[in-house]
C-alpha cells in the first residue's frame, strides 16, 4: 500500500500529547523446534539455556536490567512487569523454561518461550513508532546472525498462532482520546478504523467503557504485506486519529467549554480530597489531568509526573510502594492517599483559559 504520510511531517508535540506510547513486537521461532506449547519441560529449559545467552549477547542487552527465568520472580514482581507492559499476563503464569531479558532503559525486552520461542518488543514513550520499529528490527537482524529462525519463503516467519505468520510483527500505539470520548464520537471512530483492517480496543475495557480514555491501535494483518507497508498504513491512521482527536477537543472548547471545565475541575477536586479510589477511577481521573495539561490549564512540566501516576497507581506498583500485600480495599485507600499527596503541590487548573460563559 502506497503512502505519502511520514511521521516527521507532523509537529512532534501534538502527536506526543495524544500518543502516549509506541510499541513494536516481533514473534520468532527456532527452526525445527516445536513451539513452546508443545515442548516438554526439559526441552523448554534446554531451549531457554540456548536463547538467553544469544539475547544477552545483543549490544543493546550488554547491561540488562532483567535477565531471568520466570520462576525467579515473585507474583508481585510478575504483576509489576505486566503493568509495565514488559510481559503478557500469559507469560506471568510461566515458570522455569520461560524467561525475560530487558535492556537497561526498559525499552527493549524479549520474552523467551511465551507463545513463541521469542517475542522481541520495543516500547517507547510518546509517538516514536518509527524508533520502536528500528530498535526491534536491529535486534532481530542481530539475532538472526546467530539463530536459525523458522521461515518459509512463501509465508514468511512461522509462528505458533497463524494470526502472526508472515512478518510476526504487531505494531501498536496507545492513544489518549478524551476528546473523542467526551464528544461521543469514539464508537464511530473505532468502527471505521476496524473496517480498514486495524484493531482498536480500549486499553482497559471496550469502546466508550474504555478506562482512562486510552485506546490501543494495532495492525491485525501480518501476512502478505511488508513491515514497511504495515507501519505506513498504521502511521497514516494514527495521524488521522490525532487530527480527529484535536478537532474534537477544539469543538468541545468552542461549544462545551463549561462541560470541559466541570470534568477537569471535578477530577482535580476528587483526587485532592478523596480517601478511597479504585484503579479504574484513577485512570479516568488521571486522563482528565493529562487533558488539562494538553489544554494548557497546567504547566507542561506536570506531564511526566501524571504519566508516571498511570503506572504507579496500578495494584502491583502500589503494593511495592507500600512494601506489603494489600487487599482491594486497602489498595483503594493507599491509592487515594498517594494521589492526595501527589496532587497537593499541584495548583487548581487555570480554568480561566477555557473562557467559559
Chain residues binding its own copies by CB under 8 A are: 258-259, 261-262, 265-266, 268-276, 333, 336, 348, 351, 356-357
Give the residue with the Cβ less far from its own copies, 125 or 265. Answer: 265
Closest by CA position to 302, among listed 286, 278, 285: 286
Cell numbers for 218, please give them.
Answer: 494495532
Give the residue with the Cβ less far from its own copies, 120 or 288. Answer: 288
Give the residue with the Cβ less far from its own copies, 101 or 336. Answer: 336
d(CA 24, CA 26): 7
Closest by CA position to 171, among listed 313, 27, 345: 27
Give the residue with the Cβ less far from its own copies, 7 or 332. Answer: 332
Closest by CA position to 18, among listed 210, 247, 191: 247
Least spacing, CB of residue 355 vs its own copies, in Å: 12
d(CA 191, CA 209): 15
Least spacing, CB of residue 257 vs its own copies, in Å: 9
Q: Please compute Rg for the chain using Cα positions.
A: 21
Least spacing, CB of residue 263 vs its own copies, in Å: 9
Least spacing, CB of residue 339 vs its own copies, in Å: 11
Q: Are 16 and 127 in contact (CB under 8 A)?
A: yes
Give the residue with the Cβ less far from its own copies, 18 or 351. Answer: 351
Give the residue with the Cβ less far from its own copies, 76 or 270. Answer: 270
Q: Are 357 and 260 in contact (CB under 8 A)?
A: no
Cell numbers for 22, please give them.
Answer: 509506541
Closest by CA position to 114, among listed 89, 135, 139: 89
Least spacing, CB of residue 60 vs its own copies, in Å: 46
Least spacing, CB of residue 80 vs its own copies, in Å: 25
Residue 253: Cβ within 10 Å count: 17
Amino acid at each position: 500500500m502506497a503512502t505519502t504520510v511520514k511521521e516527521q511531517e507532523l509537529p512532534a508535540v501534538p502527536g506526543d500529547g495524544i500518543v502516549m506510547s509506541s510499541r513494536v513486537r516481533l514473534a520468532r521461532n527456532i527452526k525445527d523446534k516445536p513451539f513452546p506449547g508443545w515442548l516438554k519441560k526439559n526441552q523448554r529449559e534446554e531451549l531457554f539455556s540456548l536463547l538467553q545467552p544469544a539475547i544477552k549477547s545483543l549490544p543493546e542487552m550488554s547491561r540488562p536490567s532483567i535477565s531471568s527465568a520466570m520462576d525467579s520472580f515473585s507474583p508481585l514482581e510478575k504483576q509489576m512487569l505486566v503493568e509495565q507492559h514488559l510481559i503478557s499476563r500469559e507469560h506471568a503464569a510461566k515458570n522455569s523454561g520461560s524467561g525475560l531479558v530487558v535492556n537497561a532503559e526498559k525499552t527493549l525486552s524479549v520474552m523467551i518461550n511465551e507463545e513463541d520461542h521469542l517475542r522481541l518488543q520495543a516500547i517507547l514513550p510518546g509517538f516514536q513508532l518509527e524508533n520502536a520499529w528500528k530498535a526491534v528490527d536491529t535486534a532481530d537482524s542481530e539475532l538472526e546472525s546467530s539463530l536459525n529462525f523458522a521461515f518459509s519463503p512463501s509465508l514468511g516467519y512461522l509462528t505458533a498462532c497463524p494470526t502472526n505468520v508472515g512478518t510476526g510483527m504487531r505494531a501498536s500505539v496507545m492513544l489518549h482520546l478524551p476528546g473523542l470520548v467526551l464528544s461521543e464520537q469514539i464508537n464511530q471512530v473505532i468502527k471505521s478504523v476496524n473496517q480498514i483492517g486495524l484493531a482498536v480496543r480500549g486499553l482497559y475495557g471496550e469502546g466508550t467503557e474504555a478506562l482512562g480514555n486510552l485506546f490501543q491501535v494495532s495492525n491485525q494483518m501480518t501476512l502478505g504485506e511488508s513491515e514497511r507497508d504495515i507501519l505506513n498504513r498504521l502511521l497514516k491512521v494514527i495521524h488521522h486519529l490525532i487530527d480527529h482527536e484535536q478537532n474534537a477537543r477544539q469543538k468541545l472548547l468552542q461549544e462545551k467549554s463549561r462541560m470541559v471545565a466541570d470534568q477537569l475541575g471535578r477530577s482535580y477536586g476528587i483526587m485532592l480530597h478523596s480517601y478511597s479510589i479504585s484503579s479504574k477511577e484513577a485512570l479516568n481521573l488521571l486522563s482528565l489531568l493529562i487533558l488539562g495539561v494538553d489544554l494548557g490549564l497546567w504547566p507542561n512540566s506536570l506531564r511526566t509526573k501524571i504519566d508516571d501516576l498511570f503506572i504507579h497507581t496500578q495494584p502491583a506498583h502500589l503494593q511495592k510502594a507500600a512494601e506489603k500485600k494489600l487487599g482491594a480495599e486497602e489498595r483503594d485507600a493507599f491509592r487515594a492517599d498517594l494521589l492526595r499527596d501527589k496532587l497537593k503541590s499541584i495548583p487548581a487548573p487555570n480554568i480561566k483559559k477555557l473562557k467559559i460563559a
